[in-house]
Amino acid sequence: MKQILVPTDFSDNALKAALYAAMIAKKTNAEILLLHSMEQVEHMMRQPFVLHDKFVEEMTKGRVGEMKAFRKKIVREFPGLKTKIKITEGSPSSRIIEYAEQQQPDLIIMGTKGVTGLKEIFAGSTTSGIIGKTKCPVLAVPEDYKLGKIDAVLLATNHFEKNIAWLRPVIDIAALFCATIHVVVFLDTDTSEQEDYTKNARQLSLYVDYLKNTFPTAVFKGELLDGKEFEPTIEKYDSANEVDIISMFTYPKSIWEKIQKKSITKKIACHSKIPLLAITAQ
């Protein structure tokens, strides 16, 4: 791992994500790319360009100062950490995606705040807006999560992915901490028949064997989960097995699917109490 992109708004939540990134960077000797996007000052556009440019210049100086202070907090915890800072102007989601395309980091790590009800439907978070829109894996760190050792990584799947590039982020992060990878498949008890259980149990067994043969130094454990809803079933398993990261693949959705419902991966990013690693399958 060479570079980790960490967008920040200087909040405590963003600092938590940055410290999480630093923990990984120290183990891989990676460079941390700190990115901040200033809100656009459209209300100043009616003023003469000289005044507008001066306002942006002064605001940029202020944000650079905040960014340096933010970086100092991280380096204080992780001396010797390699960092680079970047200040941009515009929509955070758009600028993060653009910068990721330019820099091609190995991982994006962001803080996320839980949202519910109408806020989830109409607002969402910057983090959920990034998931699925960049080729780079996104690791979302919840605001209430307490940083600690990573002992178990959950890989939720129902497609039994064998693309090495997609699997690599999960394998690499687990390897850094010698964590066990729990491969789980979810079945809906309201719609699944006995043959579904038999078929998926066999597929899961074959898939775990494939993973063990492909990544011989990693430790895998397969589990078939069933329940009425995906999220609470995964949460129950996470709690019982002290899982430290949930990893999921995101697939392109059709226009109708986008209208009908929100991505399960994005919902997990909004609601999960532990970090979520979202990997774009494309």
The confidence score (pLDDT) of residue 127 equals: 75
In whole angstroms, what is the distance from residue 89 CA to residue 111 CA? 20
Q: Which residues contact 152 (CB under 8 A, 6 or more apart)?
A: 179, 180, 181, 182, 241, 242, 243, 244, 245
For domain 1-147, give the CATH number: 3.40.50.620
- Residue 277 tokens, joined: 């690693």
Strands (E), the chain: 3-7, 31-38, 82-89, 107-112, 138-142, 152-156, 180-188, 219-227, 245-250, 276-280
Q: Is the pLDDT of residue 258 over 50?
A: no
Question: What pLDDT is recorded for position 266?
Answer: 58
> What backbone phi and psi angles, to 5 degrees, belong to 230?
-65, -55
Q: What is the pLDDT of residue 211?
A: 98
For residue 238, how many other CB atoms are within 10 A of its CB? 20
Contact 108/96 with Cβ under 8 angstroms?
yes
pTM: 0.85
**230-255 pLDDT, tens digit each:** 989 999 999 999 999 999 998 876 44
Is the pLDDT at 30 greater than 60? The verdict is yes
Closest CA to 21 of 36, 39, 8: 8
**What is residue 42's DSSP assignment?**
G
Instruction: Report in angstroms the alpha-carbon separations of 99 from 4, 81, 88, 134, 155.
Output: 12, 21, 9, 10, 28
More confident residue, 40 or 86: 86
Mean pLDDT of 257-262: 45
**Which range among 38-42, 129-133, 137-141 shows the weakest confidence by mean pLDDT?**
38-42
Same fold, 1-147 and 149-243: yes
Give the mean model confidence (pLDDT) for residues 222-233. 94
Fold of 149-243: Rossmann fold (3.40.50)
pLDDT tens across 162-219, in order? Answer: 999 999 999 999 999 999 999 999 999 999 999 999 999 999 999 999 999 999 999 9
- Residue boundaries of the structural domains of the chain: 1-147, 149-243
